[in-house]
Amino acid sequence: MGLPNLLAPLYLLLGEKFRARKTVLIVAAVALSLCCVLPLLSLIVPPLQPKCYSKTSVNSFDATSEDATHQAVIKNALVHLKYANDANIFKRSIPSSKDVIRKPRSNLTTMLLRENLRLNNEDVSVHTNDALGQPSESKNNYSLHYLRTNVPRLTNTSSHLNDPTYFSEVHHPQPWISALFITLMLSRSQLVLLESIDIALANVATMTYLKEEKASYGAYYMWSHLGTALSICFIAGLAWFVKIPVCEVEKSGYFMAFIWGFVITLLSMLSLPWFKFEYNEKKSFNWSGVKNDVFNAHYIFMFIVLFCTSLCLSFQIYWEFWYLDGLSAGPFLLGGAALIRRPLVALSTFGSTYLIKKIGDLNTICFALLLYSLSFLALSFTRIAWLVLIIDTLQAVADGISFCAFTVLFYNASSPENSSIISGLLVTVFAVGYESGSTLMGVLFHTLGTQVTLLIYSTSSAALLVILLLYVHFSKYDHGYQKLAQDSEKE
């Protein structure tokens, strides 16, 4: 939900109050590097190592090797059926884990073995649910096809159907919250928080350097996206060559991402000597200054627009691969989506420098909302995976130009003594928006379906666009007037 980001302005307050922005930046960078390697403790600390659980065991010591093989195949079929999306008939006929604990151990096994014998000896187009007596179609059912083709016809199993010691469920205690889960949760939450602090202070240093050329902010911010794109490629290559055993199975070494994050974060501190921060020598930080600069009707409305815009971004960050997977996209297409997105965002942030100078920051935000509305409308009717990549370019451009426009907009509202707090509020609202938006979109996908959800996002973006256009047309907001008010207050 992005809740850790809510603490970022409090840490930035310390830097403003004691005029120690660079100190806060250094501490946050060091802590960020340590949080990057925190999950690696699971490789060397036994209590943090993931445990491998088995669901089924054979209690019969006189079982033949052939029967044991059949049992293993049926166990895999059961797991496949349990998690397959289209296994509706088994969701009703096979009891849940709670029911398995309450009922005799042999019931589930007997049901599965009998179902296997029936499927291997009968050509069925309609399956009758034994538990509820309700027929359900099994034509083109992938799960039934899996069971019929992967579970061999059992021999000599009739004598074992009523034997409770032949096939039994073993339920190992699995704690709701493990030490590894807590470690990952702390690492993730602190990474989000510290990243917000560093981004906010880096934005302040960039704007301080640009002075009157704030519209050129995108030319500097694009390097963060280029660095991300290169990191994705580099880590993917490392994971391909570096392997790690997980539960006796060799997996790709994606843990190298933590080491890479640690190294890059430390190397980024080499740029700190060039970071310059300005302070107002006549005025110190106070909340009344923030209230006067930001908490007025205009900027409150812009915070609302920022939040709604970041809600749209949650699809590209969290749900696009899920959507592509639903359209049967292959690994090559998924990898292409990851490689295309970041360079496009980098190009759009660079292009925002010319767009903001040409039409202004508010009109640039309007253009981003138009792109979001059109992209969600197109996605709601798209059933071809590669078309999603083309539509994704619209959202990538909207992401890049909108964040740069909001950064320029809110920095124009700040004074030297409270610029860090205002930049922190910008990053906080933006992060909370797309983090909580991932949850909201997931709930809507589950409740209303993908097409209706995407149409809702499209119409909502269009409605917000109309409201913002009317506001821009009739509002008397002017950057020069706001800046003049700040200057006169300093004097």
pLDDT of residue 389: 83
Rounded mean pLDDT of 244-254?
A: 83
The answer on pLDDT for 175 being more than 70 is: no
The answer on pLDDT for 151 being more than 70 is: no
Q: With H, G, I as helix, E, B as strand and everything else as coil, classify residue 451.
A: helix
The answer on pLDDT for 451 being more than 70 is: yes
pLDDT of residue 71: 54
| Sign of the CA dihedral running 310, 313, 314, 315 | positive
The answer on pLDDT for 466 being more than 90 is: yes
pLDDT of residue 54: 56
pLDDT of residue 230: 87
pLDDT of residue 350: 93
φ, ψ at 267 (rounded to 5°): -65, -30
State the Cα–Cα distance between residues 299 and 410, nearest whole angstrom. Answer: 8
pLDDT of residue 327: 84
Q: What is the mean pLDDT of the chain?
A: 75
State the Cα–Cα distance between residues 220 and 227, nearest whole angstrom. Answer: 12
Domain 3-47+189-490 -> CATH class: mainly alpha
| Of 424 and 122, the one with more pLDDT | 424
| Share above pLDDT 70 across residues of the chain, in percent, rounded to a whole number | 69
Question: What is the reported pTM?
Answer: 0.68
Strands (DSSP E) found in 308-448: none
**Residue range 207-219, pLDDT digits in tens:** 888 888 888 899 9
State the Cα–Cα distance between residues 472 and 91, nearest whole angstrom. Answer: 54
Pinpoint the residues of the chain covered by CATH 1.20.1250.20: 3-47+189-490
Of the pLDDT bands very low, low, confident and very high (cuts 50, 70, 90), residue 322 is confident
**Residue range 183-200, pLDDT digits in tens:** 888 888 889 889 889 988
Rounded mean pLDDT of 396-417?
A: 87
The answer on pLDDT for 431 being more than 60 is: yes
**Residue range 94-127, pLDDT digits in tens:** 444 444 444 444 445 555 555 554 544 444 433 4
Of the pLDDT bands very low, low, confident and very high (cuts 50, 70, 90), residue 138 is very low
Instruction: Give the list of residues 6+ apart from residue 215 with CB closer than 8 angstroms, or none.
Output: 353, 356, 357, 361, 408
Rounded mean pLDDT of 373-395?
A: 89
Spatial contact of 73 and 221, defined as CB atoms under 8 Å apart: no
pLDDT of residue 20: 83
In 3D, which of 282, 281, 292, 276 has the Cα closest to residue 414?
292
Instruction: Give the list of residues 6+ apart from residue 314 with CB closer than 8 angstroms, or none.
Output: 433, 434, 435, 437, 438, 440, 441
